[in-house]
Amino acid sequence: MQTIVWDESLSVGVAKMDAQHQIWIERFNKVMEAVSERRGATEISKTLGFLVDYTEEHFGLEEARMAETAYPDVDAHKDRHNEIRLTLDGIVEDFREDGPTEELAGDVETFLGNWLIKHIREVDMKLGAFLAAQ
């Protein structure tokens, strides 16, 4: 099972964003644990629900900060958020239809590498640098 621990290499230089990324990662890890241990459907959907809710809360904060500061890359950043929202929705949908399959475990793991971590490192880093310079 692949989980991740937040460390300084993931810091975007803005305390509030870092704090939220830590919670985001924790919630992701709970999903990963529940799926890979094939816990009951109720528990898996609960962890997925927490992840989806927190993703929304976190994206809401970043999108509000981008609007307040007239961040120049706001559209591209929001597009990336929307892709993550769609990817997560797809995972939730697949789980509802087919349960905790091997494929779902793989998709959740891919979500970690391709979306969550990549987004923090590539997209949020730029936003963090911009906000820190404000």
Q: Which chain residues interact with Fe ion by CB under 5 A?
A: 62, 124
The answer to whether 120 and 10 have CB atoms below 8 angstroms apart is: yes
What minimum distance in Å lies between the beta carbon of 84 and Fe ion? 8
Cβ-based nearer residue to Fe ion, 98 or 122: 122
What minimum distance in Å lies between the beta carbon of 38 and Fe ion? 30
What minimum distance in Å lies between the beta carbon of 43 and Fe ion? 26
What minimum distance in Å lies between the beta carbon of 33 and Fe ion? 22
What minimum distance in Å lies between the beta carbon of 80 and Fe ion? 7
3-state secondary structure 68-120: HCCCCCHHHHHHHHHHHHHHHHHHHHHHHHHCCCHHHHHHHHHHHHHHHHHHH
Cβ-based nearer residue to Fe ion, 104 or 127: 127
d(CA 90, CA 88): 5
The dihedrals phi and psi of 7, each to the nearest 5 degrees, come to -140, 175
Give the number of other CB atoms < 10 A from CB of residue 21: 22
| Residue number, nearest CB to Fe ion | 124
Cβ-based nearer residue to Fe ion, 83 or 93: 83
The amino acid present at 125, given as its one-letter code, is: M
The answer to whether 44 and 31 have CB atoms below 8 angstroms apart is: yes
Cβ-based nearer residue to Fe ion, 71 or 95: 71
Cβ-based nearer residue to Fe ion, 28 or 62: 62
